[in-house]
A and B are shown apart, each in its own frame.
Chain A
């Protein structure tokens, strides 16, 4: 029981991660795949930040009178990761636009059929 109380966070985050993963591998629409990829990314960020959190700790901004702070290192890593994530999402969406202009569709099955019939 004590183990469940202290670990339920991680399990819920893993369920969200798997939802994003399932969207990427099983759905054929390209925009939905990119949305699923973003869900996966955000759940990884949640996992990292929850590892760095300290109960009864404050945000890592030094202030007189506070002695217990949350760990600032995961915040730094995740800040960089979020910005890099939006860069790759923008690039992926630009590729989707070009695929639509070249093939006329953004469903994976139709693109595959068009490629195979060439």
Chain B
């Protein structure tokens, strides 16, 4: 793929736009279609495109695998941690009403944080799976 000029130029133009769209889908999921899962998959699709055009080794320099493993656990921790935060502030597990001054603000904050955790985990797991498949065929 190193010698294919059109692919390299077009993907250099498209990949930042795909990242931007993924961020839009993640945080605008409250007001339109979208949310954590879709944003995580779109984000990982951008990095998979980068890996296909520029090589898996270059993509691994952009996001090292140990950071991916960290991010996958971080997402689940954020989600479960929001539940525990509800417990510590006096409500039930995963009760968003107690997270802020008013019920409405608490619910909105809780939904935002939880969708962020979901998006982070989905993105890193899709990338972990892709890198595992891509690296298996190359001999040591």
Contacts and interface: CB of A to CB of B under 8 A. Distances in A.
A–B: direct contact at CB < 8 Å: yes
Interface centre among A59, A61, A83, A97, by most chain B C-beta atoms within 10 angstroms, is: A83
Q: Main secondary structure on chain B at its contact with chain A?
A: helix
B37 interface: yes
Contacts, number: 14
A83 B37 contact: yes
A83 B129 contact: no
User: What is the interface residue range for chain A against chain B?
Assistant: under 10
A54 interface: no
Interface in B122-136: 122, 129, 132-133, 136
Q: Is the interface of A mostly helix, strand, loop or mixed?
A: helix
Interface in B85-140: 122, 129, 132-133, 136
Contact of B33 (A59, A90, A93): A59
A83 B122 CA distance: 9
Closest 6 CB pairs of A and B: A90-B129, A83-B37, A97-B136, A61-B32, A79-B37, A83-B122
